[in-house]
């Protein structure tokens, strides 16, 4: 077996290891964050259980830390009360980004982790099978249900040789994105092997598994080896180490070979993570802002490299440099060894240990500005400035460019910076609140911004409606439901946040959808890529959307649609997509009879044409749709 198959087989509840067939996997750990967590715990409450059934569940506060009104503070109080009530560890605001902290303090090789954040695969750098999902899937996992997913194909990405000077882990994953695209990992796990793996520390591996999400991959995983043991030992957790490797001669569905010695620093141009070129090809472009941080590149070794590059120098006067350490542990280590002073003395502005600019919470660039970022996504408008251009780079490229004021190849700096992993990290878990012992009857504390969950109804025999919006390929969840400080503050208030649905595509959409009494959406390839946020399904549900027709769907978003009773259908002939116009009136008939046999048809009143459509749903997913959503299926507490 390969490593992916080993971990899945040891957790398999239903199904077999045939790619494309639905399987059920036991989940050991879950994580939530505050942008998705309020929904997840409201959903867990609706299931009706008094306490989580997982080995470990952790609630993190890291996304919405900007408190310009009562909403975020109230939601954080709710999350803390939910953690105490339901038996969940609570990582307080300021303790760090969920993926960085989970890697440091909780991740275990060989275990399964399900998180309500698309970058949960970060912990694959430790040898975990870590998967991102919607909040309702995480809520049901906390309730003890297995996680259902189609058995992925496994892609062996073989790393050969030693990384060339100044080539970072970020450059390796950008090379994978350049080759495979943002659609290249759909339905697959990226499993890294080869002698090149030994040259990568756990934080570097985590950078690569983190951005596997940008490939659309189910997850990414590295072996658990001596580097893993050393990292866990430095965290005081050597007892959690388990050596894990694929069997010699293990078979894979695909193989990608990368010679690390031939790579050079890379950069993703606007506005997609796979729009990758060599840094040298765009060197010299003026830079207005540099952001170093996010769950992708905010580890101790990342920021120590930045500090070494900046030491004794000053940031270019035309550049605003902001740095967000990934965790309180990282910040403490930098403060203790003097590196923090080097960063501050060079003119860097130090942000709190949180996601911040990556999700558009603060530090929006200037109008038409160029911002270099070490984060994982550069979708148009995600930064909070609609016409800004976001480039994705390594920490080394970011630091070199901040000094020069233009995009700069870090190889121009001379000899590469070498940073050794510390033998021990400054471990201090006092900002993580363990849950009380079972038995206490604790209240859920809800502020006025928390509104009831919208509930779908059983699937109708016929869906009829106007095509309220037709969009193209690679529509992201940021297009459907934008992030940013103003909008994310409404994450617990579906009626309010729904008024921002698709506003970056068509500002009139929410108003038109409500006036029409709902309708149908039409999309292209890879519809719903990006974040796991289920608000991208909940908001269309609230606005009356009944079905989405697309060429293909991203995995997490399609499951979120199913979970809330919205019908995802795929064009049998992609040419039919071209025939449909926004404003057409479509009818989908005999649904309850035709959905199980995959013989659904869509009739267009304008053209008189009938389009055959299909789905990739399992029998279980069809049952969820027929019932009206997953909550209706799991527990008496949902039926009201």
pLDDT per residue as tens digits for the range 596-607? 999 999 999 999
Say yes or no: 237 and 274 in one domain. Answer: no
pLDDT in tens, 548-583: 999 999 999 999 999 999 999 999 999 999 999 999
Residue among 638, 585, 640, 594 nearest 614 (CA): 594
Whether 155 is in a domain gets the answer: yes
| Residue 386: predicted pLDDT | 87
Say yes or no: 281 and 140 in one domain. Answer: no
User: Domain count of the chain?
Assistant: 3
Whether 417 is in a domain gets the answer: no
Q: Which domain holds residue 366?
A: 266-411
Whether 577 is in a domain gets the answer: yes
Say yes or no: 341 and 467 in one domain. Answer: no
Say yes or no: 374 and 252 in one domain. Answer: no
| Residue 62: predicted pLDDT | 94
| Residue 635: predicted pLDDT | 60
- When pLDDT is cut at 50, 70 and 90, the band that residue 521 belongs to is very high
| Residue 230: predicted pLDDT | 98
Token pair 């992030």 is found at 483
Q: Is the pLDDT of residue 640 over 80?
A: no
Average pLDDT, the chain: 94
pLDDT in tens, 207-237: 999 999 999 999 999 999 999 999 999 999 9
Q: Is the pLDDT of residue 457 over 90?
A: no
What's the rounded Cα separation, in Å, for the pair 401 and 372?
8
Domain CATH code at residue 288: 3.30.499.10
pLDDT in tens, 151-203: 999 999 999 999 999 999 999 999 999 999 999 999 999 999 999 999 999 99
pTM of the prediction? 0.94
Which comes out higher in pLDDT, residue 429 or 484? 429
Domain CATH code at residue 579: 3.20.19.10
pLDDT in tens, 8-35: 999 999 999 999 999 999 999 999 999 9
Say yes or no: 128 and 211 in one domain. Answer: yes
Say yes or no: 381 and 484 in one domain. Answer: no
Say yes or no: 211 and 291 in one domain. Answer: no
* Residue 368 CB burial class (10 angstroms; 0-12, 13-18, ≥19): exposed
- CA dihedral over 406, 310, 347, 171, signed as positive or negative: positive
- Token pair belonging to 336: 């203790």
592 CB neighbour count, 10 Å cutoff: 14
Say yes or no: 270 and 360 in one domain. Answer: yes
Say yes or no: 387 and 472 in one domain. Answer: no
Interstrand relation of 585-588 and 463-470 (parallel, antiparallel or unpaired): antiparallel
Token pair 């008189």 is found at 608
Whether 305 is in a domain gets the answer: yes
Q: How large a percentage of the chain has pLDDT more than 90?
A: 88
| Residue 441: predicted pLDDT | 85
Whether 69 is in a domain gets the answer: yes
| Residue 636: predicted pLDDT | 43
- When pLDDT is cut at 50, 70 and 90, the band that residue 637 belongs to is very low
Once rounded to an integer, what is the mean pLDDT over residues 453-458?
Answer: 83
Backbone angles phi, psi at 98, to 5 degrees: -50, -45
Q: Is the pLDDT of residue 142 over 60?
A: yes
| Residue 516: predicted pLDDT | 95
Rg from Cα positions in the chain: 23
Q: Is the pLDDT of residue 638 over 60?
A: no
Once rounded to an integer, what is the mean pLDDT over residues 259-285?
Answer: 97
Enter the DSSP assignment of 602: E
Backbone angles phi, psi at 221, to 5 degrees: -150, 140
| Residue 210: predicted pLDDT | 97
Say yes or no: 17 and 157 in one domain. Answer: yes
| Residue 639: predicted pLDDT | 40
């Amino acid at each position: 077996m390969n490593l992916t198959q080993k971990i899945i087989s040891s957790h398999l509840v239903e199904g077999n290891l045939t790619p494309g067939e639905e399987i059920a996997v036991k989940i050991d750990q879950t994580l939530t964050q505050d942008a998705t967590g309020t929904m997840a715990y409201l959903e867990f409450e609706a299931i009706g259980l008094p306490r989580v059934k997982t080995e470990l569940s952790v609630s993190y506060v890291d996304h919405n830390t900007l408190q310009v009104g009562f909403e975020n503070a109230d939601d954080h109080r709710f999350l803390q009360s939910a953690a105490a009530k339901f038996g969940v560890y609570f990582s307080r605001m300021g303790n760090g980004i969920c993926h960085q902290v989970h890697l440091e303090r909780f991740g275990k090789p060989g275990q399964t982790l399900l998180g309500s954040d698309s970058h949960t695969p970060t912990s694959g750098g430790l040898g975990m099978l870590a998967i991102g999902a919607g909040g309702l899937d995480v809520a049901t996992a906390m309730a003890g249900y297995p996680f259902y997913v189609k058995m992925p194909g496994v892609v062996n990405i073989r790393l050969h040789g030693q990384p060339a000077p100044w080539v970072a882990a970020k450059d390796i994953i950008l090379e994978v994105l350049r080759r495979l695209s943002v659609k290249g990992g759909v339905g697959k796990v990226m499993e890294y092997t080869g002698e090149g793996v030994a040259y990568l520390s756990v934080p570097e591996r985590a950078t690569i598994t983190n951005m596997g999400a940008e490939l659309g991959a189910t997850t990414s995983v590295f072996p658990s080896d001596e580097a893993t043991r050393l990292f866990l030992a430095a965290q005081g957790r050597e007892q959690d180490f388990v050596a894990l490797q694929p069997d010699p001669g293990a078979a894979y569905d695909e193989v990608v070979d990368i010679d690390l010695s031939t790579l050079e620093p890379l950069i993703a141009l606007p506005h997609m993570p796979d729009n990758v070129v060599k840094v040298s090809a765009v060197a010299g472009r003026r830079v207005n802002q540099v952001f170093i941080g996010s769950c992708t590149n905010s580890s101790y070794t990342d920021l120590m490299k930045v500090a070494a590059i900046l030491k004794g120098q000053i940031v270019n006067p035309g550049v605003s440099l902001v740095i967000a350490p990934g965790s309180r542990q990282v910040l403490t280590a930098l403060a203790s060894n003097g590196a923090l002073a080097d960063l501050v003395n060079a003119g860097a502005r130090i942000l709190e240990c949180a996601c911040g600019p990556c999700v558009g919470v603060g530090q929006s660039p200037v109008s038409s500005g160029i911002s270099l970022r070490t984060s994982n996504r550069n979708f148009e408008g995600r930064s909070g400035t609609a016409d800004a251009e976001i480039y994705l780079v390594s920490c080394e490229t970011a630091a070199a460019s901040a000094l020069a004021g233009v995009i700069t190849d870090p190889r121009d700096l001379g000899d590469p910076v070498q940073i050794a992993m510390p033998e021990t990290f400054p471990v201090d878990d006092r900002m993580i609140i363990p849950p009380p012992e079972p038995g206490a009857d604790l209240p859920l504390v809800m502020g006025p911004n928390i509104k009831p969950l919208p509930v779908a109804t059983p699937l109708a025999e016929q869906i009829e409606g106007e095509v309220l919006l037709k969009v193209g390929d690679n529509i992201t969840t940021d297009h459907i439901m934008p992030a940013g400080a103003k909008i994310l503050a409404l994450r617990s208030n579906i009626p309010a946040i729904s008024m921002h649905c698709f506003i970056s595509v068509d500002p009139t959409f929410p108003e038109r959808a409500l006036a029409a009494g709902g309708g149908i959406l039409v999309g292209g390839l890879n519809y719903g890529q990006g974040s796991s946020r289920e608000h991208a399904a909940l908001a269309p549900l609230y606005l009356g959307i009944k079905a989405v027709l697309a060429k293909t769907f991203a995995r997490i978003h399609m499951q979120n649609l199913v979970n809330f009773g919205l019908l995802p259908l795929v064009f049998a002939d992609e040419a039919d997509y071209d025939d449909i116009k926004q404003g057409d009136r479509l009818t989908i008939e005999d649904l309850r009879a035709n959905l199980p046999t995959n013989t659904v048809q869509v009739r267009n009143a304008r053209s008189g044409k009938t389009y055959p459509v299909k789905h990739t749903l399992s029998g279980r997913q069809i049952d969820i749709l027929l019932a009206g959503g997953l909550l209706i299926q799991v527990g008496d507490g949902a039926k009201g």
